[in-house]
Amino acid sequence: MTAKPNLVVIGTGGTIAGRGNAAVNTSAYQCSVLGIDEVLASIPHADALANLRAEQLLQTGSENFGNAHLLVIGRRVSALLAQPDVDGVVIAHGTDTIEETAYFLHLTLKSAKPVVVVGSMRPPSALSSDAALNLYDALAVAADPASRGLGALVVVNDEIHTARDVAKRNSFKLEAFGSPYGPLGYVVEGVPRYYRRPARPHTLDTPWSADALDALPKVDVVHAYGALDRRVIDAIAADARGLIYAGTGNGNVSESLIGPLRDAARGGLRVVRASRTGSGVVVRNGAQPDGAFGWLTVDDQLPQKARILLMLALTQTDDPAALQAAFDRY
Ligand code: DGL
């Protein structure tokens, strides 16, 4: 008989730690009120999967997460993974920004051990809550050696997603998450089934380490529309190092903003054209002469995750060609 793996389950808050006044409160409830011990204790058969240790790292909705929260989570998970008696880590997290934290871990952890970020759309107190099953599935994924070397994973709604691709796409349904190229696999009856692997480098194959990061540079995201005022760009250019411009369609820039964005790039702001459509590739030197203007393009990455990547890339270089290479590689 093989020994059970040792998993650490980190609580950070979110709906998975929430409670409603009544079972019918599937969308209106208080989030981040249950301790991770309590949440874990309510999962039947969890002990059969692994030896579990719970740790309360944060207790807040993930909409509040700033760069400092990412660094705290990154450092703690990294320290746990370095312990020989820890085989994997599960992070219970609010779903709102789960994709950002997971992507940050995906790019900065230096370990092949399984790391699973999990949330739920309904609190444990609600009718047909997904909290217990999602957490059970996350434990099952983290406990399985097949999950090693895949980078950070997000487990929700019976699916296993790579942190690079997954995003929250719905505000209230159980089926809220998706990846543009599909999940890596499913979890069925507590057993992960993988059908594909992440294609882009992560964890051990990136130049960033959560342990070495003391701060992240300021990068802002702008959701564009035709009437967007240039003062928004000017204000960002005044104190940020990077701007993800979530343009219309293929990262298009309205005529009134071409000059301000070009000037901002000349002044040192790293301007990255992204798309507000939610999927697809932004074509470099397509609709805009990015090279001539000093702009970068996002490849297929969503604006909120492009922010994570640009922050990390800017910790090591300010060179536009090197920053573009990061978008093309990761
Ligand atoms: N406060 C939101 C968050 O923590 C709740 C959303 C959720 O966890 O599903 O992201």
Substitution candidate for ligand 1 out of 12, 15, 100, 118 with most atoms within 8 A of CB: 15
User: 133-161 burial, b if ≥16 CB within 10 A, otherwise e?
Assistant: bbbbbbbbbbbbeebeebbbbbbbbbbbb
pLDDT band at 44 (very low <50, low <70, confident <90, very high): confident
Asked if domains 6-205 and 218-329 share a fold, the reply is yes
Q: Does 95 belong to an annotated binding site? A: yes
Beta bridge partners of 244: 221, 272
Instruction: Tell me the CA–centroid distance for residue 119 and ligand 1, in Å.
Output: 8
CATH number, span 218-329: 3.40.50.40
Query: Domain locations in the chain?
Result: 6-205, 218-329
164-223 pLDDT, tens digit per residue, is 999 999 999 999 999 999 999 999 999 999 999 999 999 999 999 999 999 999 999 999
* C-alpha torsion 139→142→146→150, nearest 10: 140
CATH number, span 6-205: 3.40.50.1170
Instruction: Tell me the CA–centroid distance for residue 237 and ligand 1, in Å.
Output: 31
> Do 310 and 272 meet the contact criterion of CB atoms below 8 Å apart?
yes
Substitution candidate for ligand 1 out of 12, 36, 63 with most atoms within 8 A of CB: 63
pTM over 0.85: yes
d(CA 60, CA 179): 26
d(CA 265, CA 296): 10
Atom of ligand 1 nearest to the CA of 14: 4
pLDDT given at position 200: 98
Closest CA to 282 of 256, 242, 248: 248
For residue 1, pLDDT beyond 70: no
Atom of ligand 1 nearest to the CA of 96: 10
116-167 pLDDT, tens digit per residue, is 999 999 999 999 999 999 999 999 999 999 999 999 999 999 999 999 999 9
Active site residues: 15, 95
d(CA 279, CA 301): 8
